Amino acid sequence: MSYKKKLIEVALPLDAISAESAREKSIRHGHPSTLHLWWSRKPTATARAVIWASLVDDPSSHPDKFPTEEDQQAERERLFGILTELIKWENSNNKNVLEKAKAEIEKSTNGKPPALLDPFTGGGSIPLEAQRLGLKAYASDLNPVAVMINKAMIEIPPRFEGQGAVNPEARAKPIDTWQGALGLAEDVRYYGEWMKQEALKRIGYLYPTVRDEYGQERTVIAWIWFRTVKCPNPACGCEMPLTSSFELSKKKGNETYVCPVISDGEITYELKTGTGAPQGTVNRRGATCVSCGTPIDFPYIRSEGQAGRMGSRLVAVVAEGNNGRLYIPADNEHLQAAQVSRPEEYPDAQIPDNPRDFKTPNYGLKRFADLFTNRQLTALTILCSLVAEAQEKAEADALAAGMEDDALSLAEGGSGARAYGEAIGVYLAFAVDKLADYHSAVCSWNSPRENIRNVFGRQAIPMVWDYAEANPFCNSSGSYNNMLDWVVKCLTRLPGGPQGTARQFDAQSDTGLRNVMVSTDPPYYDNVIYADLSDFFYVWMRQLLKHTYPDVFRTMLVPKSEELVANPYRFDGDKDQARVFFEKGMLEALTQIYISARDDIPVTIYYAFKQNDTREDGNGNEQTVSTGWETILTAIVSAGFQIMGTWPIRTEKPGRTLDIDSNALASSIVLVCRKRPEDAPICTRRDFLNALKRELKPALDKLQSANIAPVDLAQSAIGPGMAVFSRYSKVLEADGTPMSIRTALQIINQELDLYFSEQDSELDADSRFCVDLYTQYAFNELSFGEADVLARAKNTSVDRLAKNGIVDAEKGKVRLLTREEIPEKVDWKSTWLLTQQLTRAMEREGVAGAAKLAAGAVSSEPERARALAYRLYTIAERKGWTGEAYAYNSLVTMWRDIQTAAAELRRRAPEQTTFGFE
Ligand SMILES: C[S@@+](CC[C@H](N)C(=O)[O-])C[C@H]1O[C@@H](n2cnc3c(N)ncnc32)[C@H](O)[C@@H]1O
């Protein structure tokens, strides 16, 4: 098989793609993520870049047009220019930019761009971007919530493209052209507003206003509640509040907190201004009674919760003021308004048995309905019934506006009045579903920002002690208005284009599609258990849309058993069974992808999972492997693919502690795969090792010079290593058995270690000694004798190191000085010291501080310090020294910014280039 090399197999403007992808996290208005929550979405910039670069030929594929390396590079630069413009969020719907990009796709695909399949579509970034680039997109997912998100993005809007709004208000206006989905969006806004007015008529009385200190009526934003249990101290027995914080506002000038007042064993709550809030009563270890000070452990709170004896107490009302939030004590009227009985019917289900992600069942909140107050359940169920009414109205108006009366539903492929009414219903259902995320008794009040946190701030449902019950009819965060607005804005920005298809499908089955391009982002081992989490939304969505899409909502809950995730809870806690299930399923899914994929376009697979298992092998050596990576790579290689390249694309802003603490990664690794030729050679272990030695070092040099975050380096190295391994049909061990992926990964990791230790030889003697000491003792003491032997072996001496302010040597003990203890004066000659000084500057003053040091550089020392920071990160990460790993990771990830700021400092003060450090 010989096919034209695509750009993605040769080069990408990685920095630009990473920068745009990370920037997207802070873009809200109109972004697809605001249509409906989905966990671990891929940025649209990444997806757009990957699809485009997988379709466009690399110039080296056209030696007739670009005979020399220079010609090819010049052409690549031109393509990079197009790509760099294409990925900008602002250009998402820029006709000129899109036309230019599409023209290149046409050129490289003989005018016949392929269809794209994403069998693990989730939040749908990949199919959406395919549609934007003019491809027909097939999106499938096992999860009905994901399927609906994709229908709402790529299936429904093209069906009503250019359709004018049908509501009476819009029809009365003299607008005759409605671009794209603007008509649909306008109708969603209109019927959504109608719903709000109707809901206000029916349940507005449940949300009384409040009077401020001047007697002026104010709209409530939220009611603040503390959960309570009876203090187990028999001498006390008060209804003790459980709260992580008493603070309501940390905003400068508006600091306010709740103050518990204890009198005769009764607790009342006052509001105070200023910064003297008492400590919250619950922390990681347990709770404390505010009245008698008795410490209370979680088992007691759990048993009270399980027995249904956990209460809640209204402690404050937050209202909209003229210049910010107002905090008003709760009175009886507000307490009364909250005393609502449960609606007769409401969507509900048991919370899945998944103690990792759901903490509330421990405290007796075992059903989804338990996560809502009665008032919240009432509002949400009323809104559900109003969606159905709005849908009917929209259908009637659509008929009046002259749309076809073909009685065909959306699910049947209709595009007449009935389907249109249903389409409006889908987007309104999304607004209600989004509201549930902010209208739950596990939403807390965010005192620094003075707004409500949603349920899914993380990929889990935590237990929340102090919760904020939002007013759906206010105009602040968490309101129905806001939810509707997000949905409408997103709809106005959807690209339209060829009719897409979204369907519920198990990726392990044959889609029937052939000769399509495949780009996909499969589940990352056990990282997110989507099916469990999404039940929270599914129960509402099902109630709202089961008549519109009976097939999608045929199950009572999100299907779980086929979900590809290594979830031990589904196997009675058996991790091995969970792994085998994931492994087998992934192989099946990858085999289906192999069958569907066309040969001339690479398959791209996203993966982001940290290598986190460090174990000892039989010889007492530490081996780093990752079951998460092992399973996916085994599936890719066994399905018949070879890895042509990998791209670590940074999708998060740098420097989050999460990067280091969890298995989540700041970068997504995009694996570029091709079908392995049937006649691929077999090789021996030795051949593999030789090839690896040849190819891995330049690849690692490239990664480091691209400034890949240390936290991502190990997984980024897997790509080039596996590219070598997977080009052979088999790598044979000495005994003739084929080498496993696990062994290959171990060898790749050993090579990575070797790469770092070879870098040691470029270090000065003192720094080599320090690295050794750090690896073995961190900043802890060792005996002088031992330190002396180590120092001599590295050609230095403890005395000299002590004189240079690197170690402390006293009373027969030696230890590395910590960053707080090392000298302020910069020492350009010791890479160790400089690395620590730069890291310290970064810790203390951020980029500006580190830049001040780097600006004084007169040699390549800062670059050496950066290289050493990679090494120190790797050591710290493996040893589990999170704080240390975080510090070095931050230094490297901000390196470009440090360099830019340093250059600016040098430009502004050339006379001070050495900054007096020498
Ligand atoms: C990493 S997510 C995809 C995220 C997506 N690229 C985005 O930007 O939102 C993986 C998806 O695989 C889906 N999935 C898990 N098992 C599946 C199966 N057997 N068949 C199809 N989809 C499955 C999950 O529901 C989840 O949406």
DSSP state of 166: -
pLDDT at position 855, please? 84
Spatial separation of the C-alpha atoms in residues 688 and 681, rounded to whole Å: 12
Q: How confident is the model at residue 657 (pLDDT cuts 50, 70, 90)?
A: very low
- For residue 374, tell me if it sits in a domain: no
Q: How far is the CA of 184 from the centre of ligand 1 (A)?
A: 28
**What value does the mean pLDDT take over residues 590-600?**
97
Spatial separation of the C-alpha atoms in residues 883 and 888, rounded to whole Å: 9
Q: How confident is the model at residue 653 (pLDDT cuts 50, 70, 90)?
A: low
pLDDT of 57 higher than 70? yes
**What value does the mean pLDDT take over residues 221-230?**
97
Do residues 471 and 207 lie in contact, with contact meaning Cβ atoms separated by under 8 Å? Answer: yes
- For residue 898, tell me if it sits in a domain: yes
Q: What is the 3-state secondary structure (H, E, C) of 519-538?
A: EECCCCCCCCCHHHHHHHHH
pLDDT at position 531, please? 97
Reading the block at residue 615, the tokens are 């174990």
**What value does the mean pLDDT take over residues 531-541?**
97
Reading the block at residue 775, the tokens are 């690896």
Q: Which atom of ligand 1 is nearest to the CA of 534?
A: 25
**What sign results for the dihedral spanned by CA atoms 638, 640, 646, 651?**
negative
Spatial separation of the C-alpha atoms in residues 227 and 224, rounded to whole Å: 10
Angle 207-212-214 (CA atoms, 0-180°, nearest 5)? 145
pLDDT at position 894, please? 87
Q: How far is the CA of 599 from the centre of ligand 1 (A)?
A: 24
**What value does the mean pLDDT take over residues 565-580?**
92
pLDDT at position 912, please? 46
Q: How confident is the model at residue 709 (pLDDT cuts 50, 70, 90)?
A: confident
pLDDT at position 655, please? 45
For tokens 């029937």, name the residue: 512
Of 66-80, 124-138, 865-879, the range with the lowest mean pLDDT is 865-879
What SS3 class is residue 430?
A: helix
- For residue 848, tell me if it sits in a domain: yes
pLDDT of 687 higher than 90? yes
Range among 485-489, 761-765, 808-812 with highest mean pLDDT value: 485-489
Q: Which atom of ligand 1 is nearest to the CA of 585?
A: 19
Ligand 1 close to Cβ of residue 125 (< 6 A): yes
pLDDT of 618 higher than 70? no
pLDDT at position 662, please? 47
What SS3 class is residue 86?
A: helix
| Amino acid occupying residue 898 | I
Spatial separation of the C-alpha atoms in residues 661 and 76, rounded to whole Å: 38
Provide the domain limits for residue 828: 824-918
Q: How far is the CA of 365 from the centre of ligand 1 (A)?
A: 28
- For residue 435, tell me if it sits in a domain: no
Spatial separation of the C-alpha atoms in residues 228 and 260, rounded to whole Å: 13
Cβ-in-10-Å burial (0-12, 13-18, 19+) of 805 comes to middle
Q: Which atom of ligand 1 is nearest to the CA of 527?
A: 1
pLDDT of 916 higher than 50? no
Do residues 543 and 384 lie in contact, with contact meaning Cβ atoms separated by under 8 Å? Answer: yes
Q: Which atom of ligand 1 is nearest to the CA of 146?
A: 27
- For residue 889, tell me if it sits in a domain: yes
Residue nearest to atom 10 of ligand 1 (CA): 523
Q: How far is the CA of 123 from the centre of ligand 1 (A)?
A: 8
Reading the block at residue 702, the tokens are 């490239």
Q: How far is the CA of 536 from the centre of ligand 1 (A)?
A: 17
Do residues 854 and 866 lie in contact, with contact meaning Cβ atoms separated by under 8 Å? Answer: no
For 260, list phi and psi in degrees, rounded to 5.
-75, 135
**What value does the mean pLDDT take over residues 607-613?**
65
- Summarize pLDDT for 168-211 with one digit per residue, the tens: 999 888 776 888 999 999 999 999 999 999 999 999 999 999 99
pLDDT of 659 higher than 80? no
Q: How confident is the model at residue 616 (pLDDT cuts 50, 70, 90)?
A: low
For 97, list phi and psi in degrees, rounded to 5.
-65, -45
pLDDT at position 623, please? 56
- For residue 858, tell me if it sits in a domain: yes
Q: What percent of the chain has pLDDT over 70?
A: 95
> Within 13 Å and on the Cβ side, how many CA atoms surround 86?
29
Q: How far is the CA of 47 from the centre of ligand 1 (A)?
A: 15
pLDDT at position 856, please? 78
Can you give the C-alpha Rg of the chain in angstroms?
30
**What value does the mean pLDDT take over residues 406-435?**
97
In the chain, the number of structural domains is 1
- For residue 223, tell me if it sits in a domain: no
Q: Which atom of ligand 1 is nearest to the CA of 143?
A: 25
Spatial separation of the C-alpha atoms in residues 506 and 140, rounded to whole Å: 8
Test site for ligand 1: of 563, 584, 663, most ligand atoms within 8 A of the Cβ: 563
Q: Which atom of ligand 1 is nearest to the CA of 507?
A: 20
- Summarize pLDDT for 487-524 with one digit per residue, the tens: 999 999 999 889 999 999 999 999 999 999 999 999 98
For tokens 């670069």, name the residue: 53
**What value does the mean pLDDT take over residues 25-34?**
87
Ligand 1 close to Cβ of residue 142 (< 6 A): yes
Q: How confident is the model at residue 918 (pLDDT cuts 50, 70, 90)?
A: very low
pLDDT at position 615, please? 52
Ligand 1 close to Cβ of residue 530 (< 6 A): yes
**What value does the mean pLDDT take over residues 289-310?**
96
pLDDT at position 863, please? 83
DSSP state of 372: S
When the pLDDT of each residue in the chain is averaged and rounded to a whole number, the result is 91
CA distances from 104 to 100, 112, 163, 803 (A): 7, 12, 30, 63
Among residues 745, 746, 760, the alpha carbon closest in space to that of 794 is found at 760
Do residues 139 and 118 lie in contact, with contact meaning Cβ atoms separated by under 8 Å? Answer: yes
pLDDT at position 27, please? 84
Range among 427-441, 608-622, 847-861 with highest mean pLDDT value: 427-441
pLDDT of 824 higher than 90? no
**What value does the mean pLDDT take over residues 234-257?**
95
- For residue 389, tell me if it sits in a domain: no
pLDDT at position 652, please? 65
Ligand 1 close to Cβ of residue 146 (< 6 A): yes
pLDDT at position 505, please? 97
pLDDT at position 398, please? 97
